[in-house]
Amino acid sequence: MRSVVRHLLLIAFGLVMLYPLLWMVSSSLKPNDLIFRDPSLLPAAWDLTNYTIGWNALAHPFTHYLANSAVVVAGAVLGNLVSCSMAAYAFARLNFTGRRLWFAIMLMSIMLPIHVVIVPQYVLFSELDWINTFLPLIVPKFLATDAFFIFLMVQFFRGIPKELDEAARLDGCGHIRIYARIMMPLSLPALATTAIFTFIWTWNDFFGQLIFLTSPDMYTVPVALRTFVDSTGSSNWGALFAMSIVSLIPVFVVFLFGQKYLVKGIATTGIK
Amino acid sequence: MSALQELSGLRREPDRGRRGRQARHGRQSRSAAQKGDNRAAAFFLAPWFIGLFVITAGPLVASLYLSFTDYNLLQDPNWTGWENYARMLTDERLLNSLGVTFSYVLISVPLQLAAALLLAIVLDRGLRALAIYRSVFYLPSLLGGSVAIAILWRQVFGTNGLVNAFLGIFGVEGQGWVSHPDYALGTLMVLNVWTFGAPMVIFLAGLRQIPETYYEAAAIDGASRARRFRSITLPLLTPIIFFNLVLQLIGAFQSFTQAFVVSGGTGGPADSTMFYTLYLYQRGFGAFDMGYASAMAWLLLVIIAGMTAVNFLASKYWVFYGD
């Protein structure tokens, strides 16, 4: 009895939590003049007009921005996987001079607000002529600047028995082969967590993309959506909602298939 | 183990590794092994070192320098001493943005953590379909920082929005919550509370660490549910509460996207949603007043570091680390 009440309360609360999302989905399927008169979730008729309007409402078809976002995300994911796992191998397995100090510096860099480095970064990237390219969003990832993932992988590597790499060393394996042939295959869960979080964060990232991408050609989904808000104002909410939903679908799909890694990732390291 | 625990336990942990190594190889071969390790580390850490110096530490120092100049991106910077900092003291909009940000952080973070803790406790221990509930509550924290959700929020709390539609059912006349200076910030606080799922998952993991035997022993001694919560669950959870608190405070202080999109980049109405980072963005990348923006960034760093330090000091009085 008691647990029935608990379930009912949880279900009701869950519905309240998700209601805005469901409302956005259903509104995107309604004609504009009905969205605000009718708060119900089930549209009278399924109408995809908003999607076709929204898709072509900006300077480029929405596919263009999706492709731009995909390029940035793919670069960021690849960069984080390679660079963070390399650094993590050093911190977890190599006994080099000053390890403790560098490790502490690495941990502290996780907490550093981006705002305190963004102005000189902007100057640096404009000297390099990288403004309005994807490079400022991708190259730093190949330099392990998302130190958070180094930490995540160090934690994971520590759980892999040292006997494995010691045996490999006795067989004459060097560090590069131990890293590539032993640690990487055994760390697939940590790599998956890194890839998933990098995907979601980069896909959602607004601040960096707003600053470094300046022309509609290079806009990614978040920046394009923002110009959509500015250009349509409050006149075409249906189309705006439709494109907002399109922008959330990749995150939602990754969430569905990657839940296990997401939950494990935040539980062991404590992040969003 | 969390990054924070790691930082505070930094001194102990690597020693264990070193002792183990020493025992195995003895003193002489250790230094030879370390030399080899140094070479390998130089290779594996090379990308990180370059990133640390070029993308992180270099710009950190450079922005400190720029904060003492009148840099505007077009002309070379001129040294102006403390002028930017002095200007901040009299900049009404900046002082306002600090007030806005502090009230946002100090109200929404405790509420968010309270919701996270409450739901974690309700979901803990043998509840069926736990995984489904966890996913449902967690989803908003993945989406919450996106432009799409900010757009949704703008409309949920708009004049013709979802909230007013519901109020209308009860005959209450709503208003444009996001366009009213008294309420706009509140809608952003609600958005932050809505993303309680991430700390909730951390609480759930923490709750699972508490041995069942503690509860059994307390039950045998006749402790009530409330007593067990107060004397077992809460004290053993304080390190996790502390961890979540530190992280969420740091994160909330840097919120940007939601205020930017909901207010259309202005921080309005009447600067009521002018987050500190939004004002920084306007100064630096709207007005190209980059010297001033750098000074603002350093103040932000000092505030966040100070807030975290106060947190750590205060933690001595309420965080229980067992033995």
The pLDDT assigned to B20 comes to 45
- Nearest CA to B97 out of B240, B271, B258 is that of B271
In this complex, which of A115, A143, A259 lies closest to B51 when CB atoms are compared?
A143
B136-189 residue pLDDT tens: 999 999 999 999 999 999 989 988 788 888 888 888 888 889 889 999 999 999
**In this model, does residue B27 exceed pLDDT 60?**
no
Least confident of A43-47, A130-134, B43-47, B135-139: A43-47
- Predicted local confidence at residue B282, as pLDDT: 96
The reply to whether residue B59 touches residue A90, judged by beta carbons under 8 angstroms, is no
Q: Cβ B60–A103 below 8 Å, yes or no?
A: no
Give which of A211, A103, A150, A250 is closest to B11, Cα–Cα. A103
Closest-CA distance of chain B to residue A24, Å: 7
Q: What confidence tens digit (pLDDT) does each residue in B220-232 have?
A: 998 888 898 899 9
Distances in Å between the Cα of B227 and the Cα atoms of B118, B208, B215, B230 are: 16, 19, 10, 5
- Determine, yes or no, domain membership for B268: yes
Least confident range from A29-33, A267-271, B300-304: namely A267-271
Q: Which residue has the higher pLDDT, B169 or B125?
A: B169
Q: How far apart are CA B302 and CA B117, in angstroms?
A: 29
Q: Who among B41, B250, B254 is closest to A90 (CB)?
A: B41
**Could A266 and B158 be called an inter-chain contact, meaning their C-beta atoms sit closer than 8 Å?**
no
pLDDT in tens, A96-129: 999 999 999 999 999 899 999 999 999 999 999 9
Picking from B21, B141, B165, the nearest residue to A39 by CB comes out as B165
| A94/B44 Cβ within 8 A | yes
Residue of B2, B5, B45, B156 to mutate, testing the A interface (most A Cβ within 10 Å of its Cβ): B45
The C-alpha angle A254, A30, B268, rounded to 5 degrees, equals 75
Is the residue at B212 inside a domain? yes
Q: How far apart are CA B61 and CA A147, in angstroms?
A: 19
**What H or E segment, with its residue span, contains residue A116?**
helix A115-127
In three-state secondary structure terms, A43 is: coil
**Whether A206 and B257 lie within 8 Å, measured CB to CB:** yes
Establish if B236 belongs to a structural domain.
yes
Q: Which residue type, as a one-letter code, is found at position B188?
A: L
Of A10-19, A67-76, B34-43, the poorest mean pLDDT is in B34-43
Q: Is B59's CB within 8 Å of A18's CB?
A: no
A-B contacts (CB, under 8 Å): 279
Q: Which residues contact A144 (CB under 8 A, 6 or more apart)?
A: A80, A83, A84, A86, A87, A150, B47, B48, B51
A175:B40 CB<8 A? yes
What is the Cα A3 distance to its own chain's centre? Answer: 36
Q: Which of A18, A200, A203 sits opposite B136 (nearest CB)?
A: A18
B266-281 confidence digits (pLDDT tens): 998 999 999 999 999 9
Q: What DSSP character marks residue A39?
A: -
Q: Give the mutation candidate from A111, A131, A156, A243 for the B interface (greatest B CB count, under 10 A).
A: A111
Phi-psi region of B26 (alpha: psi -120 to 50; beta: other; left: phi over 0): left
- Residues of chain B found within 8 Å of residue A211, distances taken between Cβ atoms: 281, 285
Do residues B189 and B104 touch, judged by C-beta distance below 8 A?
yes
B142: nearest CB among A83, A96, A200 = A200
Contacts of A130 in chain B (CB under 8 A): none
Average pLDDT over residues A175-183: 93
Mean per-residue pLDDT over chain A, rounded: 90
- Of all residues in chain A, the percent with pLDDT exceeding 70 is 92
- Enumerate the domain spans of chain A: 55-269
Could you give the dihedral angle defined by the CA atoms of residues A122, A126, A131 and A135, in that order, rounded to the nearest 10 degrees? Answer: -80
* Local structure of B11: helix, strand or coil: coil
State the residue range of the domain holding B270. Answer: 87-318
The DSSP symbol for A179 reads I
The H or E element containing residue B112 is helix B92-123
Does residue B284 have a pLDDT over 80? yes
Among candidates A203, A222, A270 on the partner chain, residue whose Cβ is nearest the Cβ of B247: A270
- Amino acid (one-letter) located at A150: I
The DSSP secondary structure of A240-256, one letter per residue, reads: HHHHHHHHHHHHHHHHH
Q: What is the pLDDT of residue B240?
A: 92
CA distance A46 to chain B (A): 20
Quote the CA–CA distance of B10 and B4 in Å, as a whole number. Answer: 10
The predicted-structure confidence for B50-85, as pLDDT tens digits, reads as follows 999 999 999 999 999 999 999 998 899 999 999 999
Q: Which residue of B has its CA nearest to A11?
A: B133
How confident is the prediction for chain B on average, in pLDDT? 88
Q: Does the pLDDT value for residue A137 go beyond 70?
A: yes
Q: How far apart are CA B190 and CA A41, in angstroms?
A: 22
Rounded CA-CA distance A207/B30 in Å is 47
Residues of B with Cβ-Cβ distance to A144 under 8 angstroms: 47-48, 51
Record: contact B55-A117, CB cut-off 8 A: yes
On the question of pLDDT at B12 being above 70, the answer is: no
pLDDT digits (tens, 9 = 90+) for B292-306: 999 999 999 999 999
The confidence band for B2, taking pLDDT boundaries of 50, 70 and 90, is low
Q: Report percent pLDDT > 90 for chain B.
A: 64
Looking at the 3D structure of chain B, how many domains does it have?
1
Residue range A158-168, pLDDT digits in tens: 989 999 888 99
Nearest to A195 by CA among A152, A155, A244, A252: A152
Measured at the alpha carbon of residue A238, what is the angle toward residues A235 and A242, in degrees to the nearest 5? 135
User: In this model, does residue B22 exceed pLDDT 60?
Assistant: no
pLDDT at A101: 96
A113 near B304, Cβ under 8 Å? yes
Q: Quick one: chain A helix, strand, coil %, rounded to 5?
A: 75, 0, 25
Contact B116, B134 (CB under 8 A): no
Comparing B252 with B4, the larger pLDDT belongs to B252
CATH node for A55-269: 1.10.3720.10
Q: Are B261 and B151 in contact (CB under 8 A)?
A: yes
Contacts of B281 in chain A (CB under 8 A): 207, 211
Q: How confident is the model at residue B48 (pLDDT cuts 50, 70, 90)?
A: very high
Between A166 and A45, the higher pLDDT residue: A166
- Bridge partners, B79 (sequence order): B69
In 3D space, the residue among B308, B276, B259, B246 whose CA is nearest the CA of residue B101 turns out to be B276
Q: Is the pLDDT of residue A65 over 70?
A: yes
**How far, in Å, CA of B277 to CA of B301, rounded?**
11
The tokens describing B101, both together, are: 């940000």
Q: Could you tell me the two tokens for B78?
A: 């001129």
Cβ-based contacts of A240 with chain B (< 8 Å) = 151
Contact list in B for residue A120 (CB cut-off 8 A) is 58-60, 62-63, 66, 294
For B69, list phi and psi in degrees, rounded to 5.
Answer: -130, 175
Look at residue B43 and tell me whether its pLDDT is greater than 70.
Answer: yes
Are B41 and A89 spatial neighbours (Cβ–Cβ below 8 Å)?
A: no
Which of A11, A116, A237 to substitute to test the interface with B, most B CBs within 10 Å?
A: A116
Structure tokens at A52: 């076709």
ipTM above 0.85, yes or no: yes
Instruction: Identify the CATH number of the domain in which residue B302 sits.
Output: 1.10.3720.10
Distance, first Cα to last Cα, chain A: 35
Cα dihedral A203, A208, A210, A215 sign: negative
- CA-wise closest residue to A56 among A262, A231, A178: A231
pLDDT at B176: 86
Amino acid at B293: A
**Residue B64 is encoded by which pair of tokens?**
């400190």
